[in-house]
Amino acid sequence: MNAKAGNLIPDKAEIAALNETCFCLPLGRQQIDASILSSVNVPEMASLLAAKPNLFASTGVFLAASDLDDMIDQIHAIEAAAKTISYQNINPSRADDALVNIQPQTRGVLMGYDFHITPDGPRLIEVNTNAGGVFLVHALSGAVQSGPLPGFLAFGASRFEERIYEMVVSEWRAAGRLGQPQTLAIVDDNPEGQYLYPDMLLAQALLNKQGITTIIVDAASLAIGPRGLMAGDQVIDIVYNRLTDFALAMPHSEVLRAAMLQDQVVVTPSPRHHALYADKRNLAFLSDAAKRDALNLAPRHLSALANLPETVEVTLERADALWAGRRHLFFKPATGFGGAAAYRGDKLTQRVWSEILKGGYVAQAFVAPHTRLVATEVGPAALKFDIRVYTFSGDPLMLAARAYQGQTTNFRTSGGGFAPVILTDA
């Protein structure tokens, strides 16, 4: 280990080795569930948690504090780019113009910036506007704060509840409203059937505690009445949008879309936020040196953006070159989510390639994830992991790792799931 200020401080290679070889810091699922159940009065929570055995990983993940600093630098750089007029003029044109011009001063609640850790530092893989899980991660941090993970730092957890309240009120006022919203609706497609429904229940409990009446609503059940957007006889002031219909273009979203177009309700995250941040073609723009230089950003932001994995839009003109270099690429739908219809280039078939060439895809330089040694039902296993930074207006709210096996995060891996992050001083 490196000597630093008289102390033995692990360097990044040693931190990677800890993750890969240290069969340590076990997390007991029974303890985690018990802590969650003791902190919230939600009758169905026990059965929901019991039905999701791979929701939380069986250990924590080590991360260098300097890597976290680099992540935050990249987040701030993207936020700076999103504020420039030239960037805004390019990206909202991909979405519905009418929708992206509604409530333009809002920032989008609970964004998720997902990173892989490399020997050269963290690399941003994608940005999500429907980054669920932060309330579960907060509950997880509470379960292990004084438990089996000495040295675990629950990033941002000290004022988490207050910051969530402040975030909601900030969005409300940014949309031109006064005071605070009376009623918030967490809106999704069949929310009770969503894997992260427990996360919504925790959000509901937290916001109710903060004095904002919070309900969980299926988008298809919404209606517009004389007093605005309604769920039954309840007027909705603000929507925490968990839909993956990012443009609000599907039939089940048409009422929410109409209410937003009439500015009858504040919606966050909105189609504008997805266009500015989560459309993966943004990474093609920002990883292009000439294009990002034209934004006239501060040198520190340009330096941070230079760390983005090279990304290009898949076009017929690039087809031959992309196919030839496919083993070093990852192909993703530009507006996709959750790893759906995403492919490692070294596993591509001609049939899938022909579908990709029909349009709507980006090719990103493949960034291999690091691994963490965990306990599984059949013994120790090396699981891949990514690091998610949950933010509002570019400021970190919470930090989580997600351990998995396979191509993308899936919550189906024994020993995998959300994991706490142990920060070191490397």
How many whole angstroms separate alpha carbon 117 and alpha carbon 371? 9
Indicate if the pLDDT at residue 3 is higher than 50. Answer: no
Of 364, 394, 326, the residue nearest 116 (C-alpha): 364
Q: For 54, what's the count of Cα atoms within 13 Å in the CB-facing half-sphere? A: 18
Indicate if the pLDDT at residue 148 is higher than 90. Answer: no
354 band by pLDDT with thresholds 50, 70 and 90: very high
Spatial contact of 385 and 419, defined as CB atoms under 8 Å apart: yes
Of 212, 211, 180, 217, the residue nearest 197 (C-alpha): 217
Indicate if the pLDDT at residue 149 is higher than 70. Answer: no
Q: What pLDDT sits at residue 9?
A: 57
423 band by pLDDT with thresholds 50, 70 and 90: confident
Q: What pLDDT sits at residue 95?
A: 77
Q: Is 313 left (phi over 0), alpha (psi -120 to 50) or beta?
A: beta
Phi, psi (deg, nearest 5) at residue 342 = -105, 145
Spatial contact of 30 and 58, defined as CB atoms under 8 Å apart: no
Indicate if the pLDDT at residue 8 is higher than 50. Answer: yes
Tokens 């990883």 appear where?
287
In this prediction, residues 310-319 reach a mean pLDDT of 96
Q: Which two tokens stand for residue 154?
A: 């629950």
Contacts of 395 (CB under 8 A, 6+ apart): none
Pick from 3-7, 112-116, 334-338, 359-363: least confident? 3-7
Percent of the chain with pLDDT over 90: 76
Q: What pLDDT sits at residue 4?
A: 42
Indicate if the pLDDT at residue 271 is higher than 70. Answer: yes
Q: What pLDDT sits at residue 25?
A: 78
Other Cβ atoms less than 10 A from the Cβ of 387: the count is 24
In this prediction, residues 206-216 reach a mean pLDDT of 97
Q: Peptide bond preceding 226: is omega within 30 degrees of 0, i.e. cis? A: no
Pick from 149-153, 238-242, 414-418: least confident? 149-153
Q: What pLDDT sits at residue 39?
A: 83
How many whole angstroms separate alpha carbon 215 and alpha carbon 175? 21
In this prediction, residues 66-77 reach a mean pLDDT of 97
Q: Residue 387: which H helix or E strand, with range?
A: strand 379-392
Indicate if the pLDDT at residue 316 is higher than 90. Answer: yes
Which pLDDT tens digit goes with each residue over 30-58? 889 998 998 888 889 999 999 999 999 99
In this prediction, residues 362-388 reach a mean pLDDT of 93
Q: Across the strands, what pairs with 228?
A: 225
Q: Which two tokens stand for residue 315?
A: 């076009």
Which runs of consecutive H residues, i.e. helices, occur in 65-105?
Answer: 65-82, 85-90, 97-100
How many whole angstroms separate alpha carbon 165 and alpha carbon 397? 12
pTM (2 d.p.): 0.94
More confident residue, 203 or 153: 203
Q: What pLDDT sits at residue 1?
A: 42
Pick from 75-79, 182-186, 220-224, 411-415: least confident? 411-415
Phi, psi (deg, nearest 5) at residue 372 = -130, 130
Average pLDDT of the chain, as a whole number: 91
Instruction: Work out whether the CA dihedral 235, 241, 244, 247 comes out positive or negative.
Output: positive
How many whole angstroms separate alpha carbon 1 and alpha carbon 192? 49
